[in-house]
Structure 1
Amino acid sequence: MGLKTALLSVLGFVALTNASVIHPRTSKPAHAQYYNKKTSPYYVPSTGIPEVSFDVGESYAGQIPVDLKKTGSKDPKFFYWFFPTVNPAGKDDVVIWFNGGPGCSSLEGLTQENGPFSWKYGTYKPVPNAWSWHKLANVIWVEYPIGTGFSTGHVTAKNNTETAAQFVEWWKNLVDTFGLQGKKLYVTGESYAGVYVPYVGAAMLDKKDKTYYNVKGALYYDPVMPYADKLHLDHAAFPGFFRHWESVFAIPDKNKKILDNDNEKCGLDKYREAHLTYPPPPTPWKPVQVKGCDITGHFEEINTVINPCFNVYHVQDTCPVLWDILGFPSVQYTPPGATLFFNIPGVRKAIHAPAAPKEWASCSGPVFVGDDDRYDPAEHEKKFQTLVEKTNNVMIGSGMADYIITSNTTALAVQGLKWNGKQGFQTAPSAEFVVPVINNTEKNVENWAGGSVQGSVHSERGFTLATVKTSGHMVPQYAPPAAFRQLEHILGRVKSLTDPEPFSVNISTSFSWPY
């Protein structure tokens, strides 16, 4: 499975031109923390977002140029949406969120994962999100890199080092705009953000400038990991994944024999058993044998007949395909006459979106010159090392119902990495990841969620790996309390991920302190 096919699919490229049209308010909104002459052009009316029938609170959105002296239609500008927190404990914390792709919009994360309003597949309308991350910290969702969503301009980056450098330059402009100097930064994301987060985090840390780049930790989900694609670790992880979800897949015995033959012929289970050990065998590792036994390709061919609506991001899903207001469930489907949320003219006006692209898409591009990221797994590992060793506060979460990057693919990749003087985990994960039990009542049906034991968790030398049993690829979407708890831990609000101590804030749909 190629690097890009192991991630969120990239939709068609739309030319990216024209700067955003910004209409500043003429009076200060009530209870606004960041509203001033400099930020007023970006203010989003808290009750003025079409389709959203409730007050989302203070927020700011729009484009800021990478170079403030270059503001033409072809000059690069990142689009962001910033929700300040009213939580006193989080006033000095800033969380940056990236989605994956490469080229997939972080507005998907805001709208369906960890933002203040949630409009998930097949639901009637947006609802307040009791698990919004801005209840814990200031959160900024950024469409990254240039070429993604409303982040427009000529694409010049040839690799992830260059996109990170571009972001770091832009980040200083955003900090100066909102007066965020000295804030503690936490870099977060999912999927291909497994590349973005270490590269951006390391680039910030390398600046040695705590005024603008005071990185204190990172949290990212179901990520692209160094060497995982090069070594074909997804193939070695697949047989165990298939056995775990076998009853869900419902594949006939005659077809299972094809998968069994692939496993036996190329020694896939044997590879996993030899490498997913504690401590692990020293690197470099030989790649998994895949020639003549394409087990994932055979599975997809068989499974698509059994379940044509198979969702690679959440394997429990079946037909029918649900309408997604962002146009991107696993099967891309937009009913005739429907308009994607971020193509509604009133929405675009409210968030100061640019005139182009005329058609926003969840995933777009290219975001690298020649549509090639020139990925370097060794460099990726070095960025990971920098991030872990300079913060000692990095966590990866892995949804066990994710097919596109399975939990054991991630676990195998971790065992092949070095950080803080050793390779991989030295002892096997055994602790239970515990989330406080949620009070689900008739009054909060739209935010019902599970608690108790949600997976496993293990930490060594400043790095934590956690699994979430029922979650798919997007953990904040499929298991919001689990992701909320993990963010609490990274921010230092709770001491343990194995103890059911209460959440650090009241869990409700109120955005007014104390929630």
Structure 2
Amino acid sequence: MRWSRSISTALLAAVAQTVVAAPAPSSSSSHLNKRYIEERDGIAYNVFEHYETASKMSFVKNSGVCETTPGVNQYSGYLEVGKNMSMWFWFFEARNKPAEAPLVTWFNGGPGCSSMIGLFQEHGPCQFYNNATEPSLNPWSWNNYANMLYVDQPIGTGFSYGDDPVNSTVTAAPYVWNLLQAFYASFPEYACRDFGIFTESYGGHYGPEFAHYIQDQNAAIDAGTVAGEKLALKAVGINNGWFDSTIQERAGIEFAIGNSYRPLINESTAAALYDVFDKRCKPALDKCVATGGDAECADADSICINEVDGPISAATDFDTYDIRQPSKDPFPPNTYVDYLRRPDVMQKIGAKVRYESCPNAPGVGFGRTGDDARSFLDTLSEVVQTGMQVLLWAGDADYICNWMGNLHVADAVKYANATQFGEAGMEDYKVAGVAKGQFKTAGNLSFMRVFEAGHEVPYYQPEASFQVFMQIMQGEVPSST
């Protein structure tokens, strides 16, 4: 999820944090790595100490929680990505041919929202059906096709705990790379596999930056200036992403008056908000871009939140993540939160702290640096220019990172096929002959609008989501069945 505007505004007033760089890997031989079993608090952890990133991974194998398909392995636990920084991960092998399947990492947004949201509410091996208090197998889980790694970052998110030096998308990337390096070292059988990054919401920042950082590290490994395992990054998928405030703040007004469900504001309010955008919000965002200053970017974020988004949210009662729902009725239901807080479940999976889905603390630094207002459109363009498959897709009932804004972002991407993409028309995306959305493609960039879906697209359209996920990871563009 992307923060609600009221939360991020409050965070702008907190005290600044000091940036601490992630530890740089150094050249060494793999024989310096260590493996052993360690029992702590009644939990037997498999421990792997990774010399090159000075990190320690502690995990439980086959907890029996969530994924109960016979013969499918799972691993859950922590990686020490820095001093007093324990990052939570939960890995599920593919249900089909795991030795051949690609590896995909999932990040929820926020900043500061747990990837357990994606695991339990969207596309993980299990979900809660019909008000049940125990999860059942999800037939459309993405681990039907891929080996799936879910990560809670930055520190303080979900089950992750310790000191959190991360205060921006850019400072988050090295810690994610450290986790992936330690993961590959601990599970070398996944090295050289096709690798994908899928994310949503604030993932419009995370996805481009993490992909770009990985590509830079790959180049440094080739140049001999960094020791590590290259990641065969083949695809990036971002649904309902927040990429560029200048484009998407204006699109919020466009969506509020012109979405296909119900107008959230009237014509006169829309006209007034466009005027506010032009005179107050956009100039502040322009100043953020021009100066790059933390104060200017935080100020721009605050102005746009309070003077553009605020009046829209106050105009009528709606859930910003699904405008068809009332604001006080969380949807999808948060049953999984109570489940993950159960002592017996925590014991089984090796969790050490009380689960929090979207705590405020991890995003304090992001609010201070005005990270929300910073554009990652140029970074996205650079990623697309490398030729990997990139999918931007969005549920059309989501307001906060709506499909209109995501389409405008896609149209603004600079790459070899940009003109062709801009001129392309939308066509139906079908699953077994039934239209589930519309899409367009040129070269290696695709955009998709998903019908009857809110912010967490796979929850609403699981079959269509699995189909397009599999197509993108296979190096293909979306195509109907």
TM-score by length of 1: 0.70
**Corresponding position of 1:412:** 408
**Corresponding position of 1:168:** 177
TM-score by length of 2: 0.75
The answer as to whether partners of 1:9 and 1:101 remain within 8 angstroms in 2 is no
Partner Cα distance (2:7, 2:421) in 1:
28
Change (3 A) 1:297 1:227: closer
- State how 1:111-130 maps to structure 2 within 5 Å: 111-119=120-128, 122-123=131-132, 125-130=134-139
1:487, distance to aligned residue in structure 2 (A): 0.8
- State how 1:422-501 maps to structure 2 within 5 Å: 422=418, 425-436=421-432, 452-492=434-474, 497-500=478-481
Partner Cα distance (1:56, 1:6) in 2:
44
1:343, distance to aligned residue in structure 2 (A): 0.8
What are the superposed Cα offsets for residues 225-283 of structure 1, whole Å, 9 maximum, x if unpaired?
A: 12446753312332211xx212xx7x8xxxx6xx2112344668xx9xxxxxxxxxxxx
> Hey, which of these two has a bigger chunk of strand by percent?
2
Partner Cα distance (1:164, 1:474) in 2:
23
- State how 1:174-323 maps to structure 2 within 5 Å: 174-179=183-188, 180-208=190-218, 209=221, 211-228=229-246, 232-241=250-259, 244-246=260-262, 259-265=266-272, 297-304=310-317, 310-318=318-326, 321=329
The answer as to whether partners of 1:79 and 1:151 remain within 8 angstroms in 2 is yes
Change (3 A) 1:188 1:53: closer
The answer as to whether partners of 2:198 and 2:237 remain within 8 angstroms in 1 is yes
3-state SS in 1 of match to 2:313: helix
1:319, distance to aligned residue in structure 2 (A): 9.1
Unmatched segments (≥5 aa) in structure 1: 14-18, 27-37, 272-283, 305-309, 329-338, 438-451, 501-515
Partner Cα distance (2:148, 2:242) in 1:
23
Change (3 A) 1:412 1:106: same
The reply on whether 1:61 has 2:56 as its aligned counterpart is: no
Change (3 A) 1:8 1:116: farther
The answer as to whether partners of 1:147 and 1:155 remain within 8 angstroms in 2 is yes
Change (3 A) 1:163 1:114: same
**Corresponding position of 2:226:** none
Partner Cα distance (1:469, 1:389) in 2:
29
Partner Cα distance (1:316, 1:237) in 2:
14
RMSD over aligned CA atoms reads: 3.9
The answer as to whether partners of 1:262 and 1:294 remain within 8 angstroms in 2 is no
1:386, distance to aligned residue in structure 2 (A): 2.6
**Corresponding position of 1:274:** none
Change (3 A) 1:85 1:470: same
Change (3 A) 1:326 1:318: closer
**Corresponding position of 1:30:** none
**Corresponding position of 2:60:** 42
Change (3 A) 1:386 1:323: closer
Partner Cα distance (2:327, 2:201) in 1:
24
Partner Cα distance (1:402, 1:230) in 2:
13
1:422, distance to aligned residue in structure 2 (A): 4.0
**Corresponding position of 1:396:** 392
**Corresponding position of 2:358:** 363
The answer as to whether partners of 1:22 and 1:42 remain within 8 angstroms in 2 is no
1:217, distance to aligned residue in structure 2 (A): 0.7
1:164, distance to aligned residue in structure 2 (A): 0.4
